[in-house]
Amino acid sequence: MKKLRRALKLPYHYALAVFAAVRYGFPARHMTVIGVTGTKGKSSVSDMLLAILTEAGHKTALSGTIRFVDGNESKPNLTKMSLPGRGFIQRFLARAKKNGCTHAVVELSSEAAVQYRHLGLFLDALVFTGLHKEHYESHGSMENYFQAKYRIARALVRSPKRPRAIIANADDPYGVRYLDTPVEQHLPFTYADAHDARITEDGISFSYHDVRFSLPQPGRFSILNALAAIRAAEFCGVPLQTAARALAHITVIHGRAEKIDAGQDFLAVVDYAHTPDSLQALYDAFPNRRKICVLGNTGGGRDTWKRPEMGKIADEACAEVFLTNEDPYDEDPRTIVDAMAAKMQRAPRVIMDRREAIRAALRAARPGDAVLISGKGTDPFIMGAKGAKEPWSDAQVVREELEHLKHFRHEQNGSDARRS
């Protein structure tokens, strides 16, 4: 019945997408539009590409999971969707074009493709970061998930722009399939393209075609994200030296291995990691730290398969694990957490109030530890039953709790001094 209702809505979504493109005068025809898709890395690649194109002198718009940039201002994306519906992208591009943007970077999800939100984008290029198991219950299989994503590549084939390019992760078997897309340029990237790669918890550096790149984003995954952005910028004619300069100047990508510093003697990191692969990658980015980990499981009612897997990963990687609430929707949040604990060898600390869990984790940290808070990233709400939305920011809560911790320790030290 659920699939039937969804199928019946598809003509509506198609008609709405076509109407919006006509209503706003097909703004994408007059801009260089680069789509970015894949299970992971879309937001990071998009932000990096925005920085590079801006450094190259192109006024560039960005429609992404983290934020919207229309050429005049940057606003956080509060919709909890990579690409909102109801004609949003056509209105957005029309405004960006009016503001003088010549380029646009657009994050594209499988759900957006299924609902035809990508129609009328007239893509010049498409970046594919890779495909990992997610939305499995929604799509039914990895092949169905791939085909949903590949609708975007078919839209690239239909685009009247010339030349068109597919930029894909050739380390991923689905990326190899993307590279068969019949367009003028095929631009693969692989981890092997990064020579003399150096990875620390403070960032990465590598050489690509004899140009040295560095940026303050940790983890092996950041190298692949950077290569994707560099290859897309090459398609746009940006010199490698310009791309290197832009990436070096990136200070933070919000919610993506974002360090929160309030002068504490340990690391506090907020990250979106919401799949087993991305959670493991986050933990691997801090190999020499004792890890205190806070996590839940995003998306009540779906992707139940990953709950015990993520709990197991945290159990093996972290000195202490705090399981908490994330986005239960209409499902019992405690049921979700219990499923996460199913494969854990040690009993986790279960604190359902997310703020309380973060507070407890920060207070459990020793000097030199890493407190890793994952699952929400920049998500602006905790989604509850019957459409309830609690305004939320992991980063803001961590900042507030670090300040409370500072006062708590100051008072505790004062009390100890008086007793002595």
Which pTM does this prediction carry?
0.92
Alpha-carbon span 278 to 372, nearest angstrom: 13
In 3D, which of 251, 240, 225 has the Cα closest to residue 56? 240
Q: pLDDT digit string (tens) for 104-116?
A: 999 998 888 888 8
- Tell me how far apart the alpha carbons of residues 253 and 46 are, in angstroms, rounded to a whole number: 10
CB within 8 A of 46, min separation 6: which ones? 36, 62, 64, 105, 107
Task: Return the pLDDT at 4.
Answer: 40
Element (H, E) at 381: strand 381-383
Across 29-161, the runs of DSSP E, i.e. the strands, are 32-37, 60-63, 67-69, 74-76, 103-107, 125-128
Contact partners, residue 20, CB within 8 Å, separation at least 6: 86, 87, 89, 90, 91, 120
Report the CATH superfamily, name and number, of domain 2-248: Mur-like, catalytic domain (3.40.1190.10)
Beta strands at 349-350 and 320-323: parallel, antiparallel or unpaired = parallel
> pLDDT tens across 371-393, in order?
999 999 999 999 999 989 999 99
Superfamily of domain 258-410: Mur ligase, C-terminal domain (3.90.190.20)
**Regarding beta strands 67-69 and 60-63, do their DSSP bridges make them parallel or antiparallel, or are they unpaired?**
antiparallel
Q: What is the pLDDT of residue 2?
A: 46
CA 72 to chain centre: 23
Query: How many angstroms separate the CA atoms of 162 and 188, rounded?
Result: 19
Under-70 pLDDT residues of the chain: 1-10, 134-140, 300-301, 410, 413-420
Q: Give me the residue label for tokens 């493109």.
A: 21
Q: How far apart are CA 192 and CA 22, in angstroms?
A: 44
Q: What is the pLDDT of residues 257-309, one digit of tens each?
A: 999 999 999 999 999 998 999 999 999 999 999 999 999 987 766 778 899 99
- The DSSP 8-state label assigned to residue 246 in this structure reads H
Residue pair 110/116 in contact (Cβ under 8 Å)? The answer is no
Q: What residue ranges do the domains of the chain occupy?
A: 2-248, 258-410
* pLDDT value at residue 420: 56
How far apart CA 337 and CA 297 sit, in angstroms, is 7
* Per-residue pLDDT, 1: 42
Place of tokens 């519906």: 85
Q: How many Cα atoms are found within 13 Å in the side-chain-facing hemisphere of 125? A: 27
DSSP 3-state percent helix, strand, coil across the chain (nearest 5): 45, 20, 35
